[in-house]
Amino acid sequence: MEIKRVANAAERVRTDLVAVPLAAGMPTSRELAELDAATGGKLLREIRKRSADPSKQGVVSVYQTHGEMRADLIAVIGVGRGESGSDLAPDVWRRFAGQALDAARGARAKTLALSIGSARSGAAAAAALGAVVEGALLAAYQIDGFKTARGGFRVERCVVAGAPSSRDAQRAVERAQALAVATCFARDLINGPAESITPDYLGRTAKRLARGRGLSVHVYGPDELRRLKMGAILAVGRGSRNEPRLIEIVYRPQQRRASAGPVALVGKGITFDSGGLSLKPPGSMEIQKRDMAGGAAVLGAMQAIAALRPPIEVRGYVASAENMPDGRAYRPGDVLRTFTGKTVEVLNTDAEGRLVLADALGYAAAGGIGRRVKPRWIVDLATLTGAVTTALGRSIAGVMGSDPELVRRLIEIGRETGEPMWELPLVDEYLAGLDSPIADLKNTGDGTAGTIFGGLFLREFVGGLPWAHLDIAAVAFADKSRPYVPRGAVGWGVRTLVELVERAARD
């Protein structure tokens, strides 16, 4: 979809449909008043006639202009309550853009204008511009490549009306485009079938991603994993003909702030999870191509970071394997030796994500290839536990960590990016539940608090560094579409990781 921005007010834009936000508790915006004037006062009368509360979040009302203005249709979109009468938050603008795009598709409008004239001047207007561009591009995503016929109706052009023309505005657009492209790249990986998206494919994709972007990549195959003594990831991948990989992808800025030490992002990349010998039931297995959503988010974030070029070194790691049952598969009762030297007794082969992450986290904490300077902090993402869905539902990720400030910052960023999360405690009292009579740890707890036990297990492999873990099992895939999130892979975490890195570069 083509994106343009113009300084003109919405009523002056020639388009099939123009969308305008309506916030509760705020006076009628200038843009809505101008649209009303352009229709001879009919618009506001019709709005009041049709709905008791047209400003309620999610209420979309579409009106014919009957040739009285340059747009054929007007969509008035309720965005809920503004922030104490001030400008709307970025995620409100993203949702507005997503709902507008949905309204345009419903009306089969090929061209759409998004009015942001109600945003105040300066930084707020630039933020609104970036948010609507981001939301529109994310909402326009469709899965391509597998249907014999082209997908549903597509909006061809989106114009942002009332847009500022400052340098800040231009940077906001460029950033929004980089984030949306990277998120959609992650969505494509997650939505792809597991027969195609294998550990080797992810490794080759990382190499293609690096070309011309100033990224360096090393993909560790089975021989190198054995040399590094990564017994956990090797065991998980042993039952599949698609052998495991550890992907290391590094961004090094041309100019780096002296105080900004490197940071590390780690993603679980299980390209298909059958459960191994602890086999999943069929209903649970059919969705397991999405078990690499954390790894896809790391690759997407690295793509955006390379485009935005923050002055900080960023190291990305994806621990990728396919968890399958065959005569070579690892078994309950096996003892695995990880990269750090710690041993793990396997009680359930379906608790495999924490095993591959154990090797990746240990390697990241050690400084990666060549044992470079250790990272300032590590953040990992994983579709780790079903228990997080029971605890938090399908809209909120779980976050745990050893560093309160890192966890606090992630929660704050998640509110801004529309990727909310809630902190769960790392209860030291529960550590006894991971005790094994023959190894350093078991890979499962006592049957309770599954998400917390997963976090406690992972903490054992970060070498005492500041660390946070995001359990995204509930939020990585959408069973039904939401504003700017089509049904299917969400690409959850890409935008949060990028913002976290950018803030770290400013520290």
Neighbour-count burial of 363, counting CB atoms closer than 10 A to its CB (0-12 exposed, 13-18 middle, 19+ buried) = buried
Point out the residues that are catalytic. 280, 354
Q: Apex CA 86: angle with CA 83 and CA 91, to 5°?
A: 55
Where are the alpha helices (H) located in 140-215, listed in sequence order? 167-191, 199-210
Tokens standing for residue 204 = 């080759």
Q: What is the dihedral of CA 485, 487, 492, 496, to 10 degrees?
A: 0
Looking up tokens 């002056």 gives 12
Phi, psi for 3 (deg, rounded to 5): -115, 130
Looking up tokens 């089969």 gives 108
CA neighbor of 495 nearest in space, from 181, 214, 114: 181
Count the Cβ atoms, other than its own, within 10 Å of residue 372: 13
Structure letter (DSSP) for residue 383: -
Please give the Cα distance from 349 to 279 (Å, whole number). Answer: 8
Looking up tokens 């980089």 gives 178
User: Side chain identity at 245, as an amino acid letter?
Assistant: R
CA neighbor of 444 nearest in space, from 460, 456, 462: 456
CA neighbor of 387 nearest in space, from 448, 336, 309: 448
Structure letter (DSSP) for residue 280: P
Q: Apex CA 98: angle with CA 92 and CA 102, to 5°?
A: 140
